[in-house]
Chains A and B, each alone.
Chain A
Amino acid sequence: MANPADDELALEFGRVLTEQISPDEGPFYDELITAYRSPIPARRDRTLAFGVSPDSVLALALLEVGKVVLQGIWSVLQPMLSGLVHDSADALRAELSEKLKDWIKSKFKKPIPVTIKPDDVQNILTSVREAAARQGMNESQIAEVTKTLTQALAS
């Protein structure tokens, strides 16, 4: 996802998912993403420290999930965009981006601005489950993510 606009969209998608699935991390979302994108300092065994740190921050995993969902949506839209001339495709893409942003910001309450066939929804959800498992999410978390996205994509 090299396009800065897509990055921003994914960031927003991750934020909304985090607020819904792990609301405690919501207020720290930007801080967490910035922190985990910078190099992780070596863990030191300090005297009179607690000594063990949990690694499970859902926000990062949910950002990755957001990227996978957006990739899925764009790949569904790709045949439509490829039939247009370059300038028109860019304009349509920008317009769709704005609509998707609105949809994300509405916390998936507005209807999804594109029509996705049930098979495509299933394909996206399969990719999401795989990505979530790769990110270390447990079964119940994956189920919750899948449920949220099923409702969002079907709206």
Chain B
Amino acid sequence: MGAIVDPSQLPSATRARFAVLFTIVSLLAFGVGEEAAPFFNRDQTGTNALYNGALSMLAVLGAGTLYYLFHSLVRSRSFGKCQTLERGDALESAILEICKRFSLNPPVLLVDNDIRNYDAIAFGFPWRKVILMGRGLRLLYRKSPQEFNARLAHELGHIRNGDIATTFLAEGLVVAGLTFLTLFYLHELLSFVATLVNGWHQWSAAGDSFVRFLADWAFWISRAVVAMLGNTLIAGLWALVLLSEHRSFLRLREFYADIASARAFGPKALKETLGGDQPNPPWYARFLAAHPTVQWRKSVIDRPALLYEPTVARLARLGYVVGMLIAVFGTIHDLPDVDARGSMVVFLKLAFTTIPGAIILVILMTVTLPPAIAIGSLVFRTAAWIELDQRPFTEKALKCLKAVAALVATIWCGLLINPINLAQIIRNPSFAVTRIVDWRADAALVLITALQLVVALPLGSLIIRRLLTAPKETPPRTTTWFFLGVSFYLSIAYIGGGFGELLDPSVPDWLTGIVVLLYMFALSSPWLLMCYLIARRSLKFELLPTSCLAPWVCYTQKL
């Protein structure tokens, strides 16, 4: 019998989900910055629009990082006044014991003064992690040490799972993104009001009536109002996408921390401290909640494989982001002298001949990598779910199909109805006509992507499942790895259009072609790396039907 493995020890979706959030914030800053450009160049066309977008993105990412660097100051005051736990305190000894179990360095321990507060929060930096506890935990420690351990193991689970850095950096990015969005919206609103007031001042100076002013400006006002309504819709859509992903990301952290706690002290103590089932809050409260409902937490504690399930909601969110990303790539056509045919090559030439072009290339590469990582992570987790979930295979296959259908539908949805397209339609209504005319091209693109996903996702999952369960005597052959890597690389390259460009006889030089290939390789490299890491494990999962500690613990068998 080998080492004990539990789902919390498997690669979590933390980094992949953080990466997707990073992409959304980057796209928001890029898309809004391209259109509004309130801080940079006022020229909103062609290359300038791209520069504006790129600079806005850097500004938002910088602001998010600053928020993260200062989050500790705010978090330490979350419960009001607090003090460092004295050395030798009984609580400290109990926490140090849990740290030993998790092989963690002890964090800084703070405690507040409110006896009613049984909560605790984790925050800090990789070099200074902090647990802030409510004074009520002191009482809980006396009344029910097991419940105290379960709660603290949950918090230390956050630290062990690496949640602190990703969560607060993500929060910083979301706050910066939403602030930027609000500034953009206010800027547009104030510009509208200022123009109206200036116009009226000039009009009244000439002695004309307000009614005549309104009649004369009616067309401008109606267009401005439509634009404002459009901007409201855009801001709302961005906020919806961002909050949906962010809150879901936070809830996922809680599940992993619960699993870490249940793994350390058993599910009973954790379920007891979660208390009895509570009435289901309304949908909007569930949507915005940072914690899942108690019932949901308990069901995941009982069946952690649920975390790996490719649900419709999870894939729909990812699909929409991928669709938006493709739409952003469409803005490359805004570059001067770039036509639809040779866009990638001409863009890359610009990227290697101008500094701003290079910056834009780096940014685009940065935002395209996360979805690639997320899809790779999704394939892995689907494989783990197929292996761990005890439901019939047909039921699991049906769930996979539903999820893939949701992924495909939302890629299309993200491609067609996204804030970037809406902004373009507001700026130039004829763009809507172009989009409608181009729907067949979009449909073809989505269909090709869908076919790739329908084949690639289950196939990839099955291949990885095979690799996970393969006996050591017959490990995957080099050709298998080569085939896996090359097939994924080719599909990415195909989606990106790199090969299309290379095969085009009008391509002027091979250097650009090689750069395209390297770019595509960079896209596929996280997936290849993940495949290697999975293979190195060579694990055989065995669900243990009953166990005094946790019924879902898996054992690995040395093969």
Q: Pick from B110-118, B312-320, B323-331 the stretch touching chain A.
A: B110-118
Check if B253 is an interface residue, CB within 8 A of chain A.
yes
Say whether B309 faces chain A, with CB atoms less than 8 Å apart.
no
- Cβ distance A87 to chain B, nearest Cβ, rounded Å: 43
* Chain A residues near B239 (CB-CB < 8 A): none
The 27 sampled A-B contact pairs (Cβ below 8 Å) are A25-B139, A28-B139, A31-B115, A32-B115, A35-B114, A45-B289, A45-B290, A46-B78, A46-B119, A46-B121, A47-B121, A48-B121, A48-B155, A48-B167, A50-B118, A50-B119, A50-B151, A51-B119, A51-B290, A51-B291, A52-B273, A52-B291, A53-B117, A53-B134, A53-B136, A54-B273, A57-B116
Q: How far is the CA of A52 from the CA of B158 in the complex (A)?
A: 16
Contact in complex: A24, B294 (CB < 8 Å): no
Majority DSSP secondary structure for residues of A touching B = loop
| Given A24-B143, A54-B273, A54-B275: A48 and B122 interface contact (C-beta under 8 Å) | yes
Q: Tell me, yes or no, whether B501 is within 8 Å of chain A by CB.
A: no
Cα A52 to Cα B257 in complex, Å, equals: 14
Shortest C-beta distance, A54 to chain B (Å), equals 6
Closest B residue to A32 by beta carbon equals B115
* A-contacting residues, B130-147, CB 8 Å: 134, 136, 138-140, 142-143, 147
B254 to chain A, nearest CB (A): 7
> Are B168's CB and A24's CB within 8 A?
no
* B275–A52 CB distance below 8 A: yes
Tally B residues with Cβ within 8 Å of A: 39
Question: CA–CA, A40 to B120, complex, Å?
Answer: 17
Q: Which 7 A-B pairs have the closest CB atoms?
A: A51-B291, A24-B142, A53-B118, A49-B121, A24-B143, A48-B122, A45-B290
Contact with B along A14-55 (1 / 0, CB 8 A): 000000001011011001100110001000011111111110
Q: Write the chain A residue with the least CB distance to B136.
A: A53
Residue of B nearest to A40 (CB): B116
A51 to B255, CA, bound (A): 12
Query: Nearest A residue to B134 by beta-carbon distance?
Result: A53
- Which residues of chain B are near A50, meaning CB under 8 Å? 118-120, 151, 154-155
> What residue of chain B has the Cβ atom nearest to residue A53's Cβ?
B118
Cβ of A123 to closest chain B Cβ, rounded Å: 32
Residues on the B chain within 8 Å of A22, using CB: 143
Contacts of A36 in B (CB 8 A): 116
Contact with B along A102-137 (1 / 0, CB 8 A): 000000000000000000000000000000000000
B164 within 8 A of A: yes
- Residues of A in contact (CB 8 Å), total 21
Contacts of A48 in B (CB 8 A): 121-123, 155, 158, 163-164, 167, 253, 257
When C-beta atoms are compared, the residue in chain B nearest to A22 turns out to be B143
A→B interface (CB under 8 Å):
22, 24-25, 27-28, 31-32, 35-36, 40, 45-54, 57
Contact of A47 with B167 at beta-carbon distance under 8 Å, contacts A28-B115, A40-B116, A53-B117 already known: yes
A25–B136 Cα gap in the complex (Å)? 11
Shortest C-beta distance, B431 to chain A (Å), equals 39
A47 to B142, CA, bound (A): 26
Contact A45 B291 (CB under 8 A): yes
Q: How far is the CA of A21 from the CA of B233 in the complex (A)?
A: 59
Question: How many angstroms from the CA of A27 to the CA of B135 in the assembled complex?
Answer: 13
Which chain B positions have C-beta within 8 A of A54? 118, 140, 147, 273, 275
Give the shortest distance, in Å, between A18 (CB) and chain B (any CB). 12
Contacts of B119 in A (CB 8 A): 46, 49-51, 53
In the assembled complex, B274 has its CB within 8 A of some CB on chain A: yes
Give the nearest-CB partner of B121 in chain A.
A49
Contacts of B254 in A (CB 8 A): 51
Chain A residues with CB under 8 Å of B61's CB are none
A residues within 8 A CB of B151? 50
B250 within 8 A of A: yes
Bound CA–CA A50/B273 (angstroms): 10
Q: B115 touching A35 by the CB < 8 A rule? A: yes
Which one of B115, B123, B290 has the highest number of Cβ atoms from chain A below 10 Å of its Cβ? B115
CA distance A13 to B142 in the complex (A): 22
Q: CA separation between A54 and B146, bound complex, in Å?
A: 14
Asked if B171 lies at the interface with its beta carbon under 8 angstroms from chain A, I say yes
